[in-house]
Amino acid sequence: MKTFLKTLGTLLVIFACILTVQAQDSKPAQPQPGDLDFASKATASNNFELQTASIALSKSQNPNIKQYAQMITDDHTAAGNELSTIVKNKNWQLSTSDDQNYKSMIDQLNHADTASFDRIYTDLMVKSHQDAISLFKDASTGTAITDADLKKFATDKIPAFEKHLDQIKNMQPSDPSISDMHITPNAPSPAVKNKVLKPTLK
């Protein structure tokens, strides 16, 4: 009888250990600071692209700018949904402080007059995409990001962002009128001549 009770007790202890391990495995992995930092910055950057595209669709008089803004809307809506799903599935809480980095540029675009709007928008898009590509490349190849899903997301999005940058560079005007410009991704890119506020991703 004693042997039976001893065996039963051992089995119960083993069973309890198994349940504890399973419970621990079912919990979402705790994010590293680098994971949360990238996810927050990427979300803010993506939201900025969507906001500026919406303004461009409303204010620009140029069909090529509107075509580009619609592409940005489509691509960044998909990217935002993908990133949001990753964050939601992991129960992460992101900081929204990075959104403030873009507020002055949104205001700048909202208050731009018709004559200067397309120049300001294209300059902002060049700057923001250069920074986004740098951010995503660091996440893809660096050591700060430990989450595999987040690293894959960053890697997968780089080609699309590079395409966006190539296209907007070729639309960047040397004067306020760009009515004759077209989206030609493989053409050489003109130099940036007009200064605009640059997003700061810290």
Report, as an integer, the average pLDDT of 80-93: 96
Q: By the 8 A CB rule, do 70 and 57 touch?
A: yes
- The pair of three-digit structure tokens given for residue 171, joined into one six-digit string: 């639309």
DSSP assigned state of 175:
S
What is the C-alpha to C-alpha distance for residues 33 and 146, in angstroms, rounded to an integer? 9
Please report the pLDDT score of residue 195 as a whole number: 45
Percentage of the residues of the chain whose pLDDT score is greater than 70: 71
Label residue 163 by pLDDT band (50, 70, 90): very high
Higher pLDDT, 158 or 31: 158
Least confident of 1-10, 20-29, 178-187: 178-187
Buried b (16+ CB within 10 A) or exposed e, 92-122: bebeeebbebbeebbeebeebeeeebbbbbb
What are the pLDDT digits (tens) for 88-132?
Answer: 999 999 988 777 779 999 999 999 999 999 999 999 999 999 999
Q: By the 8 A CB rule, do 166 and 189 touch?
A: yes
* Exposed / middle / buried, residue 77 (Cβ in 10 Å: 0-12, 13-18, 19+): middle
Please report the pLDDT score of residue 113 as a whole number: 94
What are the pLDDT digits (tens) for 46-67?
Answer: 999 999 999 999 999 999 999 9
Q: What is the average pLDDT value for the chain, to the nearest integer?
A: 81
Label residue 194 by pLDDT band (50, 70, 90): very low
Label residue 1 by pLDDT band (50, 70, 90): low
**Crossing angle (nearest 10°) for helices 148-171 and 114-141:** 150
Buried b (16+ CB within 10 A) or exposed e, 14-23: eeeeeeeeee
What is the C-alpha to C-alpha distance for residues 154 and 169, in angstroms, rounded to an integer? 22
Q: Tell me: pLDDT of 196 over 60.
A: no
Report, as an integer, the average pLDDT of 133-142: 95
CA angle at residue 159 from 153 to 163, to 5 degrees? 135
SS3 breakdown of the chain: % helix, strand, coil, rounded to 5? 70, 0, 30
pTM of the model: 0.72
Largest CA distance in the chain: 95
Domains in the chain with CATH codes: 33-170 (1.20.1260.10)
What is the C-alpha to C-alpha distance for residues 41 and 58, in angstroms, rounded to an integer? 26
